[in-house]
Amino acid sequence: MKHTNRQTRLRTLADLYRAIDRQHAVTITYLKHGDTEPTIRTVEPYDIRTTKNGGIELYAMCRLRRDARKFNLDGLLSYTVHRIAFVLDREEPVTVDGHLIPLRTVAQFVARELGRDDFPRYRRTLQLAT
C-alpha cells in the first residue's frame, strides 16, 4: 500500500496512469470532502482529468457500485495497484441513432476525447481481459 502523503503527487499520478495503461485494478482509501470516515474501494481507473480550478480527478469504474465514479486526487489517502485485470463494462459514446462511434484516425480520437462530455447517450461495451 502506498500512502500519498509519503510520496510526490507526480509519483501517485505515474502509478495511476500505469494502472490505466495496463488495465489493472486499484484499491483506494478515499476521504470524501466533508466526511470524517475514509472509504475503501476497488476501482478500475480509465481516465485522469484536471478541473477548471486546477484540481485533479480520477475517473474509474467502482467494483462495489458497478458504475462510473470520480474521485478527487486530494481525497486519496492511499492506494494499491493490483495485477487484477478489468472485469467491468464501461459505457462508450454512441450516435443519436445508437451506433457506436468508430475511431479510424488520430484526429477522430482527439475529437472524441475533447467532446466526450457532450455525447448524447452511452452504450455498454464488453471489455476483454488481457
Q: Which is more confidently placed, 88 or 61?
A: 61
Which pLDDT does position 28 carry in this prediction?
96
In this predicted structure, what is the pLDDT of residue 111?
Answer: 73
Query: What's the Cα-to-Cα distance from 77 to each of 38, 82, 102, rounded to whole Å?
Result: 8, 17, 38
Q: Does residue 122 carry a pLDDT above 60?
A: no
Query: Alpha-carbon distance 44 to 59, whole Å?
Result: 9
> Is the pLDDT at 121 greater than 70, yes or no?
no
Q: Please state, for a pLDDT cut of 70, what percent of the chain lies above it.
A: 75
The predicted model scores a pTM of 0.68
Dihedral sign (CA 106, 121, 49, 31): negative
What's the pLDDT score for residue 119? Answer: 52
Indicate whether 85 pLDDT > 80: yes
Query: What rounded mean pLDDT belongs to the chain?
Result: 82
Domains and CATH numbers, the chain: 2-85 (2.30.30), 90-125 (no CATH)
pLDDT at site 93: 59
| pLDDT at residue 11, as a whole number | 94
pLDDT at 21: 92
What percent of the chain lies above the pLDDT cut of 90?
42
At residue 12, the pLDDT reads 94
CA 93 to chain centre: 16
> Cα-atom radius of gyration of the chain, to the nearest Å?
16
**pLDDT for position 116:** 60
